Structure formats: structure tokens, C-alpha cells
Amino acid sequence: MTPTRSRTRGRLLAVLLTLGCALWAASPAQAWAWWPPYPNEPTTDIVDSTQWGGQAVALTFDDGPDPEDTPRLLKVLRQNHVKAVFCLWGDHVRQHPDLVRQIVAHGHTLCNHTMHHDDMSTWSPEEIRADLEETSAAIREAVPHARIPYFRAPYGAWGQTPEVAADMGMQPLGWSLTVSDWNTPGTDELVQRLREGITPQSVVLLHDGGGDRSQTVDAVARIIPELRSQGWYFTHPAWRG
């Protein structure tokens, strides 16, 4: 290698290293793209905080995909440059595989939310594993080789599911804030509950399926710009408990 080419490569490496350090110093949100989001093996701990600290929020959506509300939600998230976690209900995945492909194409993260949304709190490990394997298989029928880093138990009825999920490579995902959007209290009320309930490193439980979630989508469209104006940023839940 000539001295000139060696110096050129050295200068390029220095620029890249400087840029990486600058992004890390600027904010964890900007650094996200520079560092692997899932660096460790999952644990049986149920995570309920964000990957990064400060005024961080992670939005998670359960029970989809839904042909009415999921596309609207994806549009809202895209317009606001927010990535979220979608906890997929296996039956709905099989009904709407195209929506799963859209979720992945938009750069969102997938979560196994069981096949039939059953309460697994009394199930045996063998029964749990069979269900989670069926759900992941349904997701990968829609999106081959899809990465599914999280598992969330329906109703928060965990039982022995954390041990099984971790053994299958999925981190159990809880939440620190729920606004009971399944009761459809009205968009204004949901916005107020989000406004009052979000604290630093919140993992927020919302829904894009399992019923009419139009109020949830409208509330998300309103709250994201408001939070951003107050210095909040959006990131992923923690990977390891």
C-alpha cells in the first residue's frame, strides 16, 4: 500500500470515529443507529423501562394487526419519525399478514403476544412453548426470518411465561403506564392520561387491535408532537432486565 493511500484510509477512519463519538455525545436517541439494540442474552426479568435514560418514552401497541387502525397508526408514526414495538396477536397475524409486512417495512420492532390472547398464568412450560412457537411461526410466515426480540403476556398474566420466553430468545416486556384505552374513554381523555402519566423512561401500553382503536390513534397523533416540544424523545424498551 502506498503512503498516500495509507494516509487517506487513516483520515477516513478518524472521521468516522469522530462522527460516531459526536452522535453518542449528542443524545442516546441519535446514537441508537450506531450500537446494536440487543447486545445481551434475554433474562426472565420483565422489563418496564426504556433502553435509554432521561426524558425517554417507548410506545408499544398490543393486539394487532388490525385492518382499520394499524395502517392509520403506521402513518402517524411515520409522519412523526417514531419507531414503536408491535405486540402481535397470532390469530390476527394470520388474518392480515400484509399488515405485518408493513409494520416491518416501516422499521418497527416485533413482539410475540401469543396465538389466541389466552391467560397463560396457569399453563405448563410445555403448553406455553407450543403457543409461542406457533405465534412466532405465524409471524415468520408473513415475514421470513423476522426478528422477534420481545414477548408480552396477555393481561399481564405472566405465570411461567418469562422463563419460557427467555429460553426462546425473547425478553419479557411489561409496561410502566397503561391508560386503559380498551375502555375507549375518548381521545381527549386518553391524551390527558398520557400527559399526566408519562414519566422518564416510561414504557407505554396502548392498542392498535382487539376493537375500535381510532381514539388511541388520534391520541397518539396529538401527544407525540406535544411531548417532543417539551424535550421528550422516543426510543425502545430496555432489552435486558
CA pair distance 15, 212, nearest whole angstrom: 50
Alpha-carbon distances of 235 from 11, 58, 232, rounded to whole Å = 32, 5, 10
- Contact in structure between 153 and 120 (CB atoms under 8 Å): yes
Is it the case that residue 23 has pLDDT exceeding 50? no
d(C-alpha 144, C-alpha 181), whole Å: 32
Strand, coil or helix: what is 88? strand
- Is pLDDT of 12 > 50? no
Query: At CA 190, angle to CA 188 and CA 195, rounded to 5?
Result: 95
pLDDT above 70 covers a percentage of the chain that reads 83
Q: Where are the alpha helices (DSSP H) in 106-199?
A: 125-142, 161-167, 187-197
62 is catalytic: yes
Q: Tell me whether residue 66 is one of the annotated catalytic residues.
A: no
Q: What is the grid cell recorded at 12?
A: 477516513
Cα 57 from Cα 198, distance rounded (Å)? 8
CATH of 41-234, one of 3.30.450.20, 3.90.1150.10, 3.40.1260.10, 3.20.20.370: 3.20.20.370
Are 31 and 24 a contacting pair, CB within 8 Å?
Answer: yes
**Quick check: 90 and 116 in contact, CB under 8 A?**
yes
pLDDT digits (tens, 9 = 90+) for 127-156: 999 999 999 999 999 999 999 999 999 999
Q: Which of 96, 113, 207, 236 is catalytic?
A: 207
Write the single-letter amino acid at 102: Q
Q: Where are the domains of the chain?
A: 41-234
pLDDT tens digits along 178-223: 999 999 999 999 999 999 999 999 999 999 999 999 999 999 999 9
Q: What is the value of pTM for the model shown?
A: 0.85
